[in-house]
A and B are shown apart, each in its own frame.
Chain A
Amino acid sequence: EDQVTQSPEALRLQEGESSSLNCSYTVSGLRGLFWYRQDPGKGPEFLFTLYSAGEEKEKERLKATLTKKESFLHITAPKPEDSATYLCAVQNQGDFNKFYFGSGTKLNVKP
Chain B
Amino acid sequence: EAQVTQNPRYLITVTGKKLTVTCSQNMNHEYMSWYRQDPGLGLRQIYYSMNVEVTDKGDVPEGYKVSRKEKRNFPLILESPSPNQTSLYFCASRPGTGVGEQYFGPGTRLTVT
From B48, B58, B103, B106, A42 is in contact (CB under 8 Å) with B106
Q: Which of A4, A34, A98, A102 has the most CB of B within 10 A?
A: A98
Among B12-20, B39-47, B63-71, B75-83, the stretch that binds chain A is B39-47
B24 within 8 A of A: no
- Tell me how far the C-beta of A86 lies from the nearest C-beta in chain B, rounded to whole angstroms: 12
From A44, A97, A100, A103, B56 is in contact (CB under 8 Å) with A97
| Interface contact B97-A96, CB-CB below 8 Å | yes
Contact with A along B28-59 (1 / 0, CB 8 A): 00010101000011111100101000001011
Q: How large is the interface on A (under 10, 10 to 19, 20 to 34, 35 or more residues)?
A: 20 to 34
| Interface contact B41-A44, CB-CB below 8 Å | no
| Interface contact A101-B107, CB-CB below 8 Å | no
B90 within 8 A of A: yes
Given contacts A97-B56, A98-B58, A99-B102, contact A89 B43 (CB under 8 A): yes
Q: List the count of A-B residue pairs having beta carbons below 8 Å apart.
A: 54
A49 within 8 A of B: yes
| A97 and B99 alpha carbons, distance in the complex (Å) | 10
A87 within 8 A of B: yes
State how many residues of chain B have any CB contact under 8 Å with chain A. 26
Which residues from chain B contact A96 at a C-beta distance below 8 Å? 97-98
- Tell me how far the C-beta of B24 lies from the nearest C-beta in chain A, rounded to whole angstroms: 14
| Interface contact A101-B44, CB-CB below 8 Å | yes
Given contacts A97-B48, A97-B50, A98-B58, contact A49 B42 (CB under 8 A): no
- Tell me how far the C-beta of A19 lies from the nearest C-beta in chain B, rounded to whole angstroms: 21
| A103 and B35 alpha carbons, distance in the complex (Å) | 13
- Tell me how far the C-beta of B36 lies from the nearest C-beta in chain A, rounded to whole angstroms: 11
Given contacts A98-B58, A99-B33, contact A43 B106 (CB under 8 A): yes
User: Which residue of chain B has its CB nearest to the CB of A103?
Assistant: B42
Known: A4-B42, A34-B102, A43-B106. 10 other contacts (CB 8 A): A34-B101, A41-B106, A43-B105, A43-B107, A97-B31, A97-B50, A98-B48, A101-B35, A101-B44, A103-B41
In the A-B complex, list the 5 residue pairs whose CB atoms are closest, starting with the nearest. A43-B104, A103-B42, A101-B43, A46-B101, A101-B42
